[in-house]
Structure 1
Amino acid sequence: MSGRTGRIAAYAVLAVLGAVVALAGALVQAGWFPLGLLLALGGAVALFYGGARLTRTKVGAAAPAGGWMLVVLLSTSSRPEGDFLFGTGLGTYVFLLGGMFAAVMCATLAPSGHLLPDGATER
């Protein structure tokens, strides 16, 4: 497997993991408030920053953030039957806005450049 193919596969896996973390976070943040909210946001931050560190690119943070955001935005809409996943409340808004803020911060702080064998970075 070439480096480019492996990196694209890693981005795809990170996006799927972002979707899973979003769904789990949506369920946990309201169920165990306030510790569930901290757990959900901590998991999202760990995935976003871990993806950036793993791939050493900003896209490594953006890929799971994109999967996370897609699932969260799709989960906020109500269904024709009147069912919805997110209720109205402070915890829900902190989860939504906090996750988006974390995604932007992790992508901004992501390491750039590739590590050389001696530990130096290449720009």
Structure 2
Amino acid sequence: MTAARLGTYVLLGVVGVLVAAAGALVQAAWFPGGLLLALLAIGALCYGGVKATDTRAGGVVPAGAWVISVLFLTVSRPEGDFLFGAGAGSYAFLLGGMFAGVMCATMPKVSQPGSGPARLGK
């Protein structure tokens, strides 16, 4: 683990928190376009993290930060204020974001180190 890679993971985590906060506001404000935009943002961040770091952890870190942030935002305060309403859009944002994060962190094929372009077995 190099300092640059660790810094990249920290940056991905911070951006994951920011995407969660922005998505929480946008998904209800511009329904259904805002919901699609918020889900596309977390999917793009996780996929971009995988491609930028060339490891699956590059997708897990922003997805984990996103999930923790969104779950923190769902807690209601003693004054009765809360950020998410009880509607289908909020649940689609929560479950869809988790699904997008898991899908992007597990599906892409990560390149193998040390493999050459030559065909084996000849």
TM-score, scaled to structure 2 = 0.89
Give structure 1 regions of 4+ aligned residues with deviation exceeding 3 angstroms.
Answer: 113-120
**Alignment partner of 1:13 out of 11, 14, 17:** 11
Tell me, yes or no, if the aligned pair for 1:56 and 1:113 is still in contact at 8 Å.
yes
* Partner residue, 2:47: 49
* Partner residue, 1:31: 29
Query: What secondary structure does 1:53 align onto?
Result: helix
* Partner residue, 1:40: 38
Asked if 1:74 is matched to 2:72, the reply is yes
Max Rg structure? 2
CA displacement at 1:119 relative to structure 2: 7.0
CA displacement at 1:113 relative to structure 2: 3.9
CA RMSD across the alignment? 1.8
Name structure 1 gaps, 5 residues minimum.
none
- Mapped partners of 2:74, 2:115: distance in 1: 46
Per-residue CA shift, 1:31-79, capped at 9, x if unaligned?
Answer: 0000000000001100010001110111000111111111100000100
Task: Count residues in correspondence.
Answer: 118
Q: Relative to 1, partners in 2 of residues 1:15 and 1:104: Cα closer, same or farther, differing over 3 Å?
A: same
- Mapped partners of 1:102, 1:23: distance in 2: 16
The sequence identity of aligned pairs, in percent, is 55
Name structure 2 gaps, 5 residues minimum.
none
Tell me, yes or no, if the aligned pair for 1:41 and 1:95 is still in contact at 8 Å.
yes
CA displacement at 1:23 relative to structure 2: 0.3
* Partner residue, 2:59: 61
User: For residue 5 of structure 1, what is the amino acid of its counterpart?
Assistant: A
* Partner residue, 2:86: 88
Q: Relative to 1, partners in 2 of residues 1:28 and 1:119: Cα closer, same or farther, differing over 3 Å?
A: farther
What pairs up with 1:87-106 in 2 under 5 angstroms? Answer: 87-106=85-104
CA displacement at 1:4 relative to structure 2: 1.1
